[in-house]
Amino acid sequence: MQTQDFVDLESQYGAHNYRPLDVVIERAEGVWVYDVDGKRYLDCLAAYSAVNQGHCHPKILRTLEEQARKVTLTSRAFRNDQLPLLCKDLHDLTGFDMVLPMNSGTEAVESAIKVARKWGYKVKGIPQDQAEVIVCANNFHGRTVTIVGFSTDEHYRDGFGPFAPGFKVIPYGDAEALRSAITPNTCAFLVEPIQGEAGILIPPAGFLREAAEICRQNRVLLMTDEIQSGLGRTGKLFAYMHEEITPDVLIVGKALAGGFYPVSAVLASREILGVITPGDHGSTFGGNPLGCAIARTALRVLIEEKMVEQSADLGAYFLSRLQSLRSPAIKEIRGKGLWIGIELHGKARPYCEALMHEGILCKETHDHVIRIGPPLVVKREELDWAFERIAKVTATSQ
Ligand SMILES: *Cc1c(COP(=O)(O)O)cnc(C)c1O
């Protein structure tokens, strides 16, 4: 079978909820992926940062194989010998007291909202069913009905209502708007430290620090969604660390299991996560031994192989090279760590297609931005190789 055969098959039998580039990937290693015709591409999306550790990392693969031979799933009706160790590893790495394990990022966000509401009622004393969560314009937190209900992207909402009440939207990066939006019924402020899906939007310096202070003064939980920005992507272990704050609730996913398995988690203090008692919340797969074992190794290699430092160093290098580009097509280039947005005046899709033909895979986000986010194991020479091609493609109008 060739590329077109796979495209046709998927188009006929699969729901059309994506518009992927027509490259059919068959295998991958590190930063490189190979299509069914044997052509090689530099992966500059890294599965939306789920493969920060690089594709098919050999140590994570070994853990997957070993654990899959022992036990994969017990459900939480019984205990397993991997979940406690993952919780401890996450505690040691981040300092948070407790961990609530889930699978997809969306589920972790949903879980964090449930935790925040329950904390609001049981600890803060908000009257029943009055809890409010403040979110930001252009947010991306997932695709469930609750979550798209507070999206400001009409496309994400259209046709899916009615939506859950209890959410209030403020402009992103506007601390004063946060202050004015808070009421005695506000339980949490949910925010991405950098908005990835919105096009690598970086808020004004100091925003997160100010937001943390406003939340503290008003007894509102600061919940950072670091599903995409976390685990090294921005050159720190978590993006909130750029502002030297600690959120009350940290939401992680994607790279937590290095692309081998969906593992997500909500991390918080005992005061907050302690509100969840047996029967309140659950997940058949959440905390399963296979996912937990994989996540432990995925975290270990991220730290041991210095991928966070690599992201900071090479990200700064690549950003400055890209910012030297002079092309009438380019409006702005911004980024942090190995997370870079090239904002164009026109549509980004044709540029992504042209880059694909040059051997680079990346994806447009919100029409005008090319997002560059390779696995953090990328080498300087590979970035130089990518730079030449990006320079070539952006030099001509597509
Ligand atoms: C990807 C993402 C999610 C959703 O994660 P899924 O694993 O796709 O459910 C939520 N928030 C942010 C910031 C994300 O990037």
Ligand 1 site-directed mutation target among 228, 266, 339, most atoms within 8 Å of CB: 228
The pLDDT value given to residue 66? 98
Domains of the chain: 58-304 (3.40.640.10)
Atom of ligand 1 lying closest to residue 225 CA: 13
Query: How far, in Å, is the centroid of ligand 1 from the Cα of 2?
Result: 31
Distance, in Å, from the CA atom of 358 to the CA atom of 353, rounded to the nearest integer, reads 9
226 Cβ closer than 6 Å to some ligand 1 atom: no
Separation of alpha carbons 292 and 302, rounded Å: 15
Q: Are 301 and 59 in contact (CB under 8 A)?
A: yes
pLDDT tier, 22 (very low <50, low <70, confident <90, very high otherwise): very high
pLDDT in tens, 268-278: 999 999 999 99
The average pLDDT across 258-282 equals 98
Which residues have CB under 8 Å from 216's CB, separation 6+? 222
Q: What is the dihedral of CA 376, 45, 266, 74, to 10 degrees?
A: -90
pLDDT for position 327: 94
- 227 C-alpha to center of ligand 1: Å? 6
Q: Is the CB of 230 under 6 A from ligand 1?
A: no
pLDDT range class, residue 4, cuts 50, 70, 90: very high
Q: Of the listed 35, 89, 140, 167, which one is catalytic? A: 140
pLDDT tens by residue, 190-227: 999 999 999 999 999 999 999 999 999 999 999 999 99
Q: Is 96 one of the catalytic residues?
A: no
Question: Does any ligand 1 atom lie closer than 6 A to the CB of residue 192?
Answer: yes
pLDDT at 398: 85
Q: What is the pLDDT of residue 366?
A: 86
Report the separation in Å between the CA atom of 49 and the middle of ligand 1, taken as the mean of its atom positions.
Answer: 10
What band does 40 get if pLDDT is binned at 50, 70 and 90? very high
Q: What is the dihedral of CA 77, 106, 378, 357, to 10 degrees?
A: 130
**From the CA of 145, how far away is ligand 1's center (Å)?**
14
What single letter denotes the amino acid at residue 220?
Answer: V
Catalytic position from the list 43, 89, 174, 225? 225
Q: Order of strands, edge to edge, in the sheet holding 32-35?
A: 25-29, 32-35, 40-43, 360-361
**Opening angle at CA 314, ends 363 and 338, nearest 5:** 30
Phi, then psi, of 21 in degrees rounded to 5:
-65, 150
User: Ligand 1: distance of its center to the CA of 105 in Å?
Assistant: 5
Task: Give the pLDDT confidence score for residue 168 in this predicted structure.
Answer: 98
The mean pLDDT value for 273-301 works out to 98
**Active site (annotated) includes residue 225:** yes
| Averaged pLDDT, 106-110 | 98
The predicted-structure confidence for 334-344, as pLDDT tens digits, reads as follows: 999 999 999 99
- pLDDT classification of 397: cutoffs 50, 70, 90: confident
Which of ligand 1's atoms lies nearest the C-alpha of 226?
13
Q: Quick check: CB of 373 below 6 Å from ligand 1?
A: no
**For residue 103, which atom of ligand 1 is closest to its CA?**
7
pLDDT at residue 173 is higher than 90: yes
Q: Is 109 in the pocket of ligand 1 (CB under 6 A)?
A: yes
Above 90 in pLDDT, residue 72?
yes
Return the structure tokens found at 232: 């090294």
pLDDT band for position 169 (cuts 50, 70, 90) = very high
Cα 287 to averaged position of ligand 1 atoms, centre (Å): 18
Residue type at 229 in one-letter notation: S
Q: Active site includes 254?
A: yes
Q: Which mutation among 141, 144, 227, 240 tests ligand 1's pocket best, with the greatest number of atoms within 8 A of CB?
A: 227
Reading the block at residue 78, the tokens are 């019984």
Q: Are 304 and 57 in contact (CB under 8 A)?
A: no
* Residue 194 confidence (pLDDT): 98
What average pLDDT does the chain have? 98
At 180, the pLDDT band (50, 70, 90 cuts) reads very high
- Closest to 369 (Cα-Cα) out of 325, 328, 334: 334
365 lines ligand 1 (CB under 6 A): no
3-state secondary structure labels for all residues of the chain = CCHHHHHHHHHHHCCCCCCCCCCCEEEEEECEEEECCCCEEEECCHHHHCCCCCECCHHHHHHHHHHHHHCCCCCCCCCCCCHHHHHHHHHHHHCCCEEEEECCHHHHHHHHHHHHHHHHHHHHCCCCCCCEEEEECCCCCCCCHHHHHCCCCHHHHCCCCCCCCCEEEECCCCHHHHHHHCCCCEEEEEECCCECCCCCECCCCCHHHHHHHHHHHHCCEEEEECCCCCCCCCCCCCHHHHHCCCCCEEEECHHHHCCCCCCEEEEECHHHHCCCCCCCCCCCCCCCHHHHHHHHHHHHHHHHCCHHHHHHHHHHHHHHHHHCCCCCCEEEEEECCCCEEEEECCCCHHHHHHHHHCCEECEEECCCEEEECCCCCCCHHHHHHHHHHHHHHHHCCC
